Amino acid sequence: MRKFILMLAASFAAMTLSVSASAEVTEEQLRAHIAILASDDFEGREPGTPGERKTIEYIAGEWKKSRLIPAAKDGSWFEPVALVERSIGSAETSFYNKGRKLRFADSEILLTGTEADYQNGSLPVFFAGYGVNAKGNPVGDVAGKLVLMFAGGADYLPVDKRSPRARREILVKAGAQAVVLIADSAAAGSWPALRRQMGSSGLALQAREIRAPLQGAVSAEFAVGLATAAAQDWDKISMAAATADFAGIDFGITADVKVTTNVRRFNSYNVIGKIPGKKKNLGAVLYMGHWDHLGLCRPEGDADRICNGAVDNASGIAVLAEVARELGRKRHDRDIYFIATTAEESGLLGAYSFADNPVIPLGDIVVALNVDTIAIAPRRSKVAIIGRGTTKLDGIIETVARGLKREIEPSNDANAFIRRQDGWALAEKGVPALMVGGSFADMKKLQVFLSGDYHGPGDELTGNTELGGAAEDTDLHIALGKYFASGRKYSREKTEQGEKAGD
């Protein structure tokens, strides 16, 4: 009898293990979340719209069902993020060369102010090329001037390739009165792209604003016209701008500018939930992903105006919902936090707000796992790490992934996106922050999406939306959460000495 009972117990244990092992997240579970978040009813999840309220309430509701507790500072699910929205009002601009008024098409220049009204006269026009030199300093004296700067990058710039935003902020700190981007041939810096960017409402995080009183963009033709009026050879000065010793050129032209800007200040919200840990002083695991997208992104009258953001990033929020559901079934040694951020599409603003005012000390976060644009790869895709080589966690990530029979993408190619995702806001402050999964393992497949439906009305949930890899990546994130939340399996101190994953 005893032998029979032991055999029965063993059989039951094996059956239980089998059930547990087969309890994988399905594509249908992810699809159900995405169908809601990327529906037309949510109107593209733009911050500050009715679509935001529907989105954040849905996320909080799903997390509550998964036994998370609200973890914002006021005890609710919602942590306010103070944003300011600006859109073009009206502008009157006049350029003068030695007292002679120059004539340009108003359609070739777009300007907005920091405040509702801006007026200034006789601003010296300064050509700054790419804005900064190889050391990250302004190319010349820009204080009190209207500065023209190329939107694209230059070969001599540092390997990290400062963005136009970063270079503009350097010029603002140096006293530039206005920073105006010159369109180039690159897709992101072309005149049509800059017109769309300037013409739509722009969001900024109030607490982190580094902005000139005036900023804007001009077409390449407009910039050539100014250079010609200043007796400068455009081709010659453009080539000079790409050299390390370029010092900028004062055009000898002045600008009189009067600009009105539509300004709206409001609170958007990060959603923050928590699975309380069993043990104190072990730190916390953090999952994050942005809930926002571009809203009504096409003009009134277009057949499809809504950028639904099914892949970017309803898919990531769907993954977080299922990770929370599984991890919420029990308590773990460490606290596990979940944060769905706002305004990622406007420059990681929700993530920066959290990094500047965290609900837990940043030093307590043992790992931050960001989930974004995850419905790209099919099943059995390799696992890439955005942030590979920046922490001591690569070995652990790879061992856990191999335990799920996932192959590893060993290259650093995915690091090209390291500054373009929410984890960067934490990584800048020393938090070990990574993105893990299959979407960034195949750059060609990813590029098909980025050059196609990305940030357009075509990013919708269809029968062809690839969720196989996303389901496997969800299982991977669950496994990583269980590993990092275990005080027995993961020790930050041992990892800093080079330990890999293991029991």
**Per residue in 274-315, pLDDT tens?**
999 999 999 999 999 999 999 998 888 888 999 999 999 999
Segment holding 92, helix H or strand E: strand 78-97
- Model confidence at 61, pLDDT cuts 50, 70, 90, reads very high
For the cut 60, the answer to whether the pLDDT of residue 501 exceeds it is no
User: pLDDT of 306-339, one tens digit each?
Assistant: 999 999 999 999 999 999 999 999 999 999 999 9
Say if CB 175 and CB 205 are below 8 A apart. Answer: no
Judge: domain 85-263, CATH 1.10.287.3510: no
What mean pLDDT do residues 351-360 have?
A: 98
User: pLDDT of 263-275, one tens digit each?
Assistant: 999 999 999 999 9
Q: Where in the chain are the domains?
A: 25-83+267-496, 85-263
- Model confidence at 502, pLDDT cuts 50, 70, 90, reads low
Q: What is the pLDDT of residue 296?
A: 92
Joined tokens for residue 333: 């040694």
Report d(CA 363, CA 286) in Å as an integer.
12
What mean pLDDT do residues 143-170 have?
A: 85
Average pLDDT, the chain: 91
User: pLDDT of 93-114, one tens digit each?
Assistant: 999 999 999 998 888 999 999 9
| CATH no. for 25-83+267-496 | 3.40.630.10
- Model confidence at 498, pLDDT cuts 50, 70, 90, reads low
Q: Which of 181, 188, 146 is closest to 167 using CA atoms?
A: 181
Q: Which of 340, 333, 221, 217 is closest to 280 using CA atoms?
A: 333
Report d(CA 351, CA 339) in Å as an integer.
9
For the cut 50, the answer to whether the pLDDT of residue 250 exceeds it is yes
Where are the strands (E) in 206-308, listed by range?
214-218, 249-275, 284-290, 295-296, 306-307
What mean pLDDT do residues 450-456 have?
A: 91
For the cut 60, the answer to whether the pLDDT of residue 198 exceeds it is yes
User: pLDDT of 14-57, one tens digit each?
Assistant: 333 333 333 699 999 999 999 999 999 999 999 999 999 999 99
491 CB neighbour count, 10 Å cutoff: 14
Report d(CA 296, CA 269) in Å as an integer.
19
Say if CB 163 and CB 348 are below 8 A apart. Answer: no
